[in-house]
Amino acid sequence: MSTPTPRTGAGPATLLVVAGLACQEVGASLAVLLFPQVGPLGMVMLRLFFSALVLLAIARPSLRGHSRAAWVAVVQFGLVLAVMNGLFYLALERLPLGVTVTIEVLGPLVLSIVAARRASAWLWALLAFAGVVALGGGGWDDLDLVGVLFALGAAASWAFYILASARVGRAFPKLDGLALAMAVGAVVSLPFGILDAGPALLQIQLVALGAAVAVLSSTIPYAFELIALRRLPASAFAILMSLAPATAALAGFVLLGQELAWLELVGIGLVIAASIGAVRASARAARGTAEPLA
């Protein structure tokens, strides 16, 4: 019986994932700075539009030879992309970056807990719940409740994003499905973005900054993640992605001056710990399912 070849280059791959997370949060910070000029939905439109242009240029997807089910999956994925980004940026307008990303991470966290199919996995759900309660700091009155609802909507959308991405990945080769879905998302966001941004879209410098946000938030992270996944086990990659709240809190503090209370930092730490635990539990459940009977 042959033994599986271990993946090499785990160290550089880990650095790529961390660099991708950093780029993503720097892009989000830049987006927040542009909200007064173009609004959150205008920013979503610019991000999806330029991300679609880059991905379409790279992937050059074929429009022929795909089933009706494949196109339905692409349209659904595009709608999820538009809704998820829209809710995320609407939350960012009202909440600190670290808090927004921490709440958003609850989507894939719940998905991991459900996928584990073990009673012990719900302990991680309780830990995550404790983290979310701690995010209230001195009290939930200190947080904008509408912003929290937007962030929870983004969390639910992220869970749907994972499922939709898997369907599109099975139906289309390489980045073709993602490029087409991003184009659908850009078209969906277009009327909302134009209404929100208005005449600001005629300012070249603002549009150029929107393109920079797209590259930082989408193009670079997607490329780095694609390379990293060839060298890292999926479970290790998921654990690294669980560090997104910490990266976001750091970017919010350094770039936006968003200070968090110590209890909010504890909440972020609890959600990260719950995410890592849920990923490990899900990985163990998958290995148990794959083990042959003696």
Every domain of the chain and the residues it spans: 10-285
Q: Other CB atoms closer than 10 Å to residue 18's CB: what's the count?
A: 15
Average pLDDT over residues 9-33: 86
Give yes or no for residue 56 having a pLDDT over 90.
Answer: yes
257 Rama sector, left if φ>0, alpha if ψ -120 to 50, beta otherwise: left
pLDDT at 111: 75
Angle at alpha carbon of residue 222, lines to 41 and 152, rounded to 5°: 45
Average pLDDT over residues 53-77: 91
User: How confident is residue 5, by pLDDT bands cut at 50, 70 and 90?
Assistant: very low
pLDDT at 167: 87
Nearest Cα to 85, choosing from 200, 196, 230, 247? Answer: 196
User: How confident is residue 285, by pLDDT bands cut at 50, 70 and 90?
Assistant: low
Percent of the chain residues past pLDDT 70, beyond the cut:
86
Average pLDDT over residues 186-204: 94
Nearest Cα to 91, choosing from 47, 151, 136, 31? Answer: 151
pLDDT tens figures, 209-238:
999 999 998 888 877 877 777 777 766 777
CB 169 within 8 Å of CB 122: no
Whole-Å CA distances, 14 to 27, 157, 162, 214, 217? 20, 26, 21, 23, 18
Q: Other CB atoms closer than 10 Å to residue 25's CB: what's the count?
A: 27
Q: Where are the beta strands (DSSP E) in the chain?
A: none
User: How confident is residue 282, by pLDDT bands cut at 50, 70 and 90?
Assistant: low
pLDDT at 280: 72
CB 184 within 8 Å of CB 75: yes
Mean of per-residue pLDDT scores for the chain: 83
Q: Which residue has the higher pLDDT, 187 or 62?
A: 187
Average pLDDT over residues 160-168: 85
pLDDT at 240: 78
User: How much is the pTM?
Assistant: 0.82
pLDDT tens figures, 67-125:
999 999 999 999 999 999 999 999 999 998 888 888 888 887 777 777 666 666 678 77
Q: What whole-number distance in Å separates Cα of residue 206 and Cα of residue 223?
A: 25
Q: What whole-number distance in Å separates Cα of residue 70 and Cα of residue 55?
A: 18
